[in-house]
Structure 1
Amino acid sequence: MKVVVVGCTHAGTAAVKNILALHPEAEVTVFERNDNISFLSCGIALYVGGVVSDPKGLFYSNPEELASLGATVKMEHDVTEIDVQAQKVKAKNLQTNEAFEVAYDKLVMTTGSWPIIPPIPGREAENILLCKNYNQANVIIDKAKHAQKIAIVGAGYIGIELVEAFVESGKEVTLIDGLDRILNKYLDQHLTDILETELKERGVTLALNESVSEFKADDQGKVQQVITEKGSYEADMVIMCVGFRPNTDLLKGKVEMLPNGALIVDEYMRTSNPNILAAGDSTVVHYNPSNLKQYIPLATNAVRQGMLVGQNLTEERMAYRGTQGTSGLYLFGWNIGSTGVTKTSAALNNLEVRAVEFEDNYRPEFMPTTEKIYMQLVYEADTHRIVGGQLMSKYDVTQSANTLSLAIQNKMTVEDLATADFFFQPHFDRPWNYLNLLAQAALAQM
């Protein structure tokens, strides 16, 4: 059996390892246009901020490992065309320009995503950068040595983490976003208000509810100003973090996709062509809170889906359990966890919900220290099914987002969580765990 894998970051690496473990007889050929694999882009801000001094730790595999497992790895090779009828891919060696074809029995598309670049006038100016892969991270670090005023466009996780990294490095930072709140996809307003106050106190200029209309450059062609409909901001470096789009042009018109190009897969990671499987940032996920197909590019989704490609390459062995889009963030001492829908995003998922806000100390006040936790639980109004949750504290409560994620995946209700069995020990929590108390606050609200 000949297997061709196109793209090898998170989903591709997981797919190759699992295919070779379960199908040692398979002839696996991997095409990757970059000179590295498995880079943890979620660690870019740590690398940029100097928290991670050796970037080798941000790679958890390498071409040599995949080759030792039995794969033929073609680094710095670009797949230029896919003939789904003849089941062949055309590829080009980017170093030599040699072009050739490879036949396949099964094709695995793990081509990932690429940053969205809005058509803003002046975007060709020097020092307007993207933040996705290892090479871009190195460019950001190099350019930042000579930049003092840095504008971040996009207030999602990547943008926020870069803000922290540059503030800690002594830079003047402006954060620009077209929405009226930071982290709009992950947190509701009572939590983002706290974080926005923190950013302002640390000297960050917040330009929210503003869209970039133009970049202006100096006489040397380097970016000098970022113009929005409400003002202008000086910047000698700009990083665009406005989102990602799936890299799926090779299969356009050949398999079913969402309007944004994300490949539609079934629970066994198969596209509408049964000989083409897909995983990671190039595909949809099954979003459990709403039971809808969504595009949620996260490394966690990618590695799970990549594993399932190996499991289901030739037969239906393990179905995808879906995702809640669970995520965590550390920002200026705040530990933040989020899963499922927010009260704001529920309507976009065709959900009628109620939400309860709750604050409590994570452990008894008679202990030498404690910290306040800010929480929110989102649940369906009629069924009381839990569909989202958020937690934030100076104490690390982020693992509780994983607990809420399981609650959503297993369709637990508010009543289930209100009396769930959690241990009590004063070092760690109260007789009622704070998640119990959060759900009990929802019961009281009902």
Structure 2
Amino acid sequence: MKVAVIGCTHAGTAAISNILKLYPNAEIDVFEKNDNVSFLSCGIALYVGGVVEDPNGLFYASVEGFEQQGVRMHMRHEVTVCDMEGKYIEAKNLENGEVTGYDYDKLIITTGSWPVTPPIPGFDLENVQLCKNFTHAQEIIKKAKDAKNVVVIGAGYIGIELVEAFEEADKNVTLIDSEARILNRYFDKAFTDPLENTFRELGVNLALEQTVTKFEGNNKVEAVVTNKGSYKADLVIMCVGFRPNTDLFQNQLETLPNGAIIVDEFMRTSREDVFAAGDCCAVAYNPTKQAAYIPLATNAVRMGTLVAHNLLHPVLAHQGTQGTSGLKIYQHNLASTGLTEVAAEASGLNVRSTLLVDNYRPEFMPENMELKIKLVYEVDTHRIVGAQVLSDADFTQAMNTMSVVIQNNMTIEQLALTDFFFQPHYNKPWNFLNQVALQAMGQVAERKSNLLLLK
């Protein structure tokens, strides 16, 4: 069996590792435009901030390791032709321009994503940087040494983490985003306000509800101009989001409007013997029961693993995702899973929410800490569709529990009475997950009572 793999970051690496275990006789050809595999881009901010001193630690697999297992690794090769009807591809060697053809029995598309690059005048100026791969990370580190004024564009996870790293490196930092809040896709206002307050207290300039119109400078960027002002810049980092890297497969596969490849629960595309996984794909999103584009490394490694298991026969189905994620910024530990209240309403779901703010353990304990947790649930079914947590102590793992809750379609009543342990060092007799669900049940009871009074 000849297997061709296009792209080798998280999904590709997971697929290859599992194919080697499941099908030791398979012939595997891997085509990757970079000269490395398995780079954890989520570690770029840690590298920039000096938390990770050795960037080699941001890789968990190697070209040499795969080659020692018999995988033919075509590094610095770009696939330029993909004939799915004839099961044939051509790849260009980016070092010497040579083009070579290959045939396959099974094709695995794990081409990942690429940063969104809006057509902004001046984008080609020196020191306007993307933030995605190892080369980008090295360039950012190099150019940040002499930069005094750093502008980060995009207030998602990567942008926020970079702002923290640059501020701690004593840079003058401006964060620009078109939305009114940071992290608005992942958290509701009660959870982003404390982070914004911390940034402002530390001197970060939050230029929110602003759209970049141009970059100014003489060869090298000197300023970022928005619809509301101009900001000095020696270095600009673009973090405005990602798009699926699927241009090569246009008109050959079923996709979402943004180009994300549609796969079934066994990672099969609309073409026989063609599989796809990772950031190039749509994924089953349990809160809405719809396909969605959620580029996360966790989704990618699961999907890549599933490709290998289902390569010959459909034996292991994808259970869907909740888009669970976490973040640590300064003293703030926060995580979320599923839909925020704003996102749920935008998706057409009829939801209510409840917010619990409480000490995490009994008040008689000499030391304590406040936590904030929010639950989002459907009005009619009481099905839980989202949750968020924030505290200066680390309760982010609770969102892994809530991810399982959403995946299994649990209701507020079921969560309220779920068995969690009690020990005063760690929690209260009613665990905070129980408490927030009980609070939601109280809302439901109050609503029913009010409806009866109206009658």
Deviates more, 1:348-357 or 1:56-65: 348-357
**Contact 1:34-1:76 within 8 A present in 2 as well:** yes
Deviation per CA, 1:424-443, whole angstroms, max 9, x where unpaired?
01111111111111111111
Match of 1:338 among 317, 336, 339: 336
- Structure 1 Cα separation of the partners of residues 338 and 122 of structure 2: 37
Aligned mates of 2:345, 2:21 — CA distance in 1: 43
- Contact kept in structure 2, 1:262 and 1:283, CA below 8 Å: yes
| 1:418 alignment partner, one of 401, 416, 419 | 416
| Shift of residue 347, structure 1, vs aligned partner | 2.5
Greater alpha carbon shift after TM alignment, 428-437 vs 64-73: 64-73
Superposed structure 1 runs of 4+ greater than 6 Å apart: none
In the aligned structure 1, how far is the partner of 2:89 from the partner of 2:9?
Answer: 19
1:233-291, Cα deviation, whole Å (9 max, x unpaired): 11111100000011111110001011111000000000000211000000000000001
Contact preservation (8 Å) 1:90, 1:102: yes
- Aligned to 2:342, the other structure's residue is in SS state coil
What residue ranges of structure 2 are gaps of 5+ in the alignment? 445-455
SS in structure 2 at match of 1:152: strand
Identity of aligned residues (%): 57
By how many angstroms is 1:198 displaced? 1.0
Q: Deviation of residue 214 (structure 1)?
A: 1.1
Deviations 1:215-240 (A, max 9, x none): 111x3x11111111111111111100
The residue type equivalent to 1:130 in the other structure is: L
Give CA-to-partner distance per residue, 1:89-117, whole Å, 9 cap, x none. 10011122211101011100000000000
Q: Which residue of 2 aligns with 1:398?
A: 396
- Count residues with an aligned counterpart: 444
Q: Which amino acid aligns with 1:26?
A: A
Query: Partner amino acid for 2:334?
Result: I
Match of residue 212 from structure 1: 212
Distance 1:88 1:35 in 2: 23
Q: What residue number does 1:60 align with?
A: 60
Equivalent residues of 1:290, 1:350 under 8 A apart: no
TM-score of the superposition, structure 2-length normalised? 0.97
Q: What's 1:36 paired with?
A: 36
The 2-side partners of 1:68 and 1:309 are apart by 22
Show the counterpart of 1:386.
384
Which of 305, 324, 331 lines up with 1:307 in the alignment? 305
Partner amino acid for 2:117?
A: I
Q: Name the counterpart of 2:272.
A: 274
- Residue equivalent to 1:7: 7
Residue identity opposite 1:366 in structure 2: F
The equivalent residue for 1:136 is: 136
Look up the match of 1:97.
Answer: 97
Give the match's secondary structure for 2:129. Answer: strand
Deviation at 1:171, TM superposition (A): 0.6
Q: How far apart, in 1, do the equivalents of 2:233 and 2:408 lie?
A: 47
Q: Which residue of 2 aligns with 1:254?
A: 252
Q: Does 1:233 align with 2:231?
A: yes
Report the Cα distance in structure 2 between the residues aligned to 1:9 and 1:38, rounded to whole angstroms. 4
Question: Is the deviation greater in 340-349 or in 388-397?
Answer: 340-349
* Residue aligned with 1:437, SS: helix
For 1:30-56, what per-residue CA distance to the aligned partner results, in whole angstroms no more than 9, with x for missing partners?
A: 111101000000011000000000111
Q: CA RMSD in A?
A: 0.8
The aligned amino acid for 2:196 is E
Residue of structure 2 in register with 1:109 after alignment: 109
The answer (yes or no) to whether the contact 1:17–1:69 under 8 Å persists in 2 is no
Q: How far apart are the structure 1 equivalents of 2:38 and 2:361?
A: 39
In 2, the alpha carbon distance for the partners of 1:176 and 1:157 equals 13
Displacement after TM superposition at 1:333 (Å) = 1.1
The separation in 2 between residues aligned to 1:227 and 1:36, in whole angstroms, is: 36
Q: Give me the whole-angstrom Cα distance separating, in 2, the residues matched to 1:36 and 1:62.
A: 7
- Report the alpha carbon displacement of residue 77 of structure 1 after superposing the two structures with TM: 1.0
Tell me the equivalent position of 2:366.
368
